[in-house]
Structure 1
Amino acid sequence: MYGGGYIFDEPDKRQLKEEQLHDDPEKLVEFEARIARGEKIEPGDWMPSEYRRQLIRLIEQHAHSEIIGALPEGTWITRAPGFKRKLALIAKVQDEIGHGQLLYNAAETLGKSREAMINDLLSGKSKYSNVFNYPAETWADVTVIGFLIDAAAIVNQVANAKGSYGPYCRALERICYEESFHLKQGHDAFIELATGTPAQRAMVQDALNRWWQPIMHFFGPPDKNSVHSEKLMQWKVKMASNDDMRNQFLDAYVPKIWDLGLSLPDENLKKDPVTGKWCYSDPDWDLFKKVINGGGPCNKERLDVRKWAEEHGRWVRKALMNPAEKTTAPVA
């Protein structure tokens, strides 16, 4: 669901320099020529150390976001209005967990084990998308997640599905097919509230007001503040800049929101008729950094849930790996 809102950690510069010294210059030239020709890089192919590093970070953070992102919606399965909505939400949450598994598989092809990725998530070393640090207080929050956050994720994922690393692209192609259905589910629920009773319209407007800044944060910092974007785009790890993806999202979805008679909490939001780019108030990037680095309102809660699941699922993993060994489920 959620391929966006990531911050690429600054690598250990000394370690990175040492690794890059071992990158064969001739192989690097051929590697970049292959990418320029539009070829896919596969797990057994030679690749620069920094390409591998950034791909692992990108894919595992995407995988973590799928897993953590299922939690706020999952809490609404029993409270969704009506049997149809409950069934749709169950199916969606199940899909998101499956997406996480596909992405962990893709990241493992680069040499990092799933166990190491999960440990880095639980320890706070590895990041996940900023938007999943916020609570889903009402059913309207769930509709905003299903409509606008899924839409933002699709903008990112459709672009990166055309990238250079084969296993990630193939995973994204499958994920995007399923996300298109999630988007329809979210749009339908959002429209129902927006065209409903005054109380329902007020509820969805309140949710929009609270979620708009996290959504604007979702694509990451402005291009002018990006440290790695130029090289990542040259290597087709990223296929579009943060600002371009944010503008593409605004192009597609702001008119839809305004057509419903809803407002957005930014008096400066407007499209420049000359450049075709959107003008908007700069969101609080210090807040974004705080949230993405573990200071979000629901960060501890979300990781505590995952730690509980890891602990209580350990006996199942042990039984699968060592079927002859006797294992006992922990007491709930």
Structure 2
Amino acid sequence: MSVLLAEMTEQEKMEQFVARIENGEKIEADDWMPDEYRNTLIKLISMHGISEIMGALPEKEWVPKAPTLHRKLGIMAKVQDEMGHGQLLLRVAEDLLKPYGKKRDDLMQDLFSGNLKFHNVFHMETKSWGDAGLIGWLVDGAAIITQTDMLGASYGPYARALQRICAEEVFHAQHGEAIIMALAEGTDEQRQMVQDSINYWWESLLLFFGPPSKNEMGVSKQDVTLKYRIRTGTNEGLRQAFFSKYIKRIHSLGFTIPDETLRFDEETEKWIYQQPDWNKLKQIARNEGPRSQARLNLRRISYTTNQWVREALAPKVI
């Protein structure tokens, strides 16, 4: 096979690669792949992995402040899971980096320099216990929608990692929903805490899925992931799926959504909603969100402090 591949032209390799994807085959780490495919995967998976790690920080802040020991143990277990997801995904990304002579440490340096982004929601403040619950319920709920869409990804290692991650994220969403339900059944003050959280996070949840596929600049980069069957849903399609799953749930608990234009259009079978301020997403991408620098600094300190652990565990050359 390797000899045959070596004899092929770049065009022939590309045609064979596309045919494999169209036939539903999985691409593995050692297989030939075009640079566009490899670089798209590196960007997507490394951002996903870093977002899992950075996403643990908003809830980590609430481990010592959770109202009961039971709640402390629950949110602590969730934080541990998220860090594990990050480690798993960064290993997947690391395999893709090998041809470029790069390692996982390079990804961390990219994070610190601002070249590697993490999801907008994890730049936000968690000001109340309601925020901590809403992250689990709606933010993890949004993540499940995007991640389950990629369970059939053409890149085998990523698809297999997502099987475990998605299964655990379901428990995380149930954990967050349990917190919200307890508050919803509580005092007026506790219910107001939930409503304030919905008001605060709603725009961030819309931004989470990214801009529509086509905008004034033409076709977005997202279409590359569709082209290579890394995922099947568009940003807007995934956002609509989120609406369909959660809007009625929010209303059923007696809470409102901060969008007077929000309605379901029977003719188009789509939700009509007020567009978020997409400039905020660009601002956060520059690490200018409410908690961007504080969380990056925490990660920098942790990375430097624990350097000795990585060195102790590194294979020794004899």
Bin the TM-score by the shorter chain. over 0.9
Q: After superposition, where does 1:1-332 map in structure 2 within 5 Å?
A: 24-111=10-97, 112-225=102-215, 226-321=219-314
- 8 Å CA contact retained: 1:223, 1:229: yes
Distance 1:85 1:133 in 2: 23
* Higher RCO, 1 vs 2 (CA within 8 Å, ≥6 residues apart): 1
SS state at 1:160 partner: coil
- What is the RMSD of the two structures over their aligned residues, measured on CA atoms? 1.5
Query: Contact 2:213–2:223 at 8 Å: present in 1 too?
Result: no
**CA–CA separation in structure 2 for the residues paired with 1:37 and 1:272:** 37
Secondary structure of the structure 2 residue equivalent to 1:271: strand
Structure 1 CA distance for aligned equivalents of residues 45 and 88 of structure 2? 10
- Alignment-derived partner of residue 16 in structure 1: none
Report the Cα distance in structure 1 between the residues aligned to 2:169 and 2:71, rounded to whole angstroms.
17
Contact 1:229 / 1:238 at 8 angstroms: preserved in 2? no
Residue 4 (structure 2) aligns with: none
Give distance in 1, aligned partners of 2:250 and 2:91: 37
In 2, Cα distance between equivalents of 1:95 and 1:56: 22
Q: Match of 1:66, SS?
A: helix
CA distance in 2, matches of 1:125, 1:231: 20
In structure 2, what residue type is equivalent to 1:137?
K
Aligned-partner residue type, residue 50 of structure 1:
E
Aligned length: 303
Residue ranges of structure 1 left out of the alignment (5+ in a row):
1-21, 325-332
> 1:233–1:239: 8 Å Cα contact kept in structure 2?
yes
Partner Cα separation in structure 1 for residue 9 and residue 192 of structure 2 = 57
Give 1:230 deviation, angstroms.
2.6
Amino acid at match of 1:73: E
CA shift digits 1:200-258 (9 cap, x unpaired): 01111001100000001000011213522333202012321000000001000000000
For structure 2, list consecutive stretches of 5 or more residues without a partner in the other structure. Answer: 1-7
- Share of identical aligned residues, percent? 46
Distance across 1 between alignment mates of 2:48 and 2:111: 11
TM-score by length of 2: 0.93
Cα displacement (A) at 1:63: 0.6
Amino acid at match of 1:202: Q
Q: Which amino acid aligns with 1:134?
A: M
Distance 1:53 1:120 in 2: 15
Runs of 4 or more, structure 1, over 6 Å off, are none
Q: CA deviation at 1:297?
A: 1.1
- 1:22-48 deviation line (CA, Å, top 9, x unaligned): 981111111111111111100111111
CA offsets 1:241-283 (integer angstroms, 9 cap, x no match): 0000000010000000001110010001111111111100010
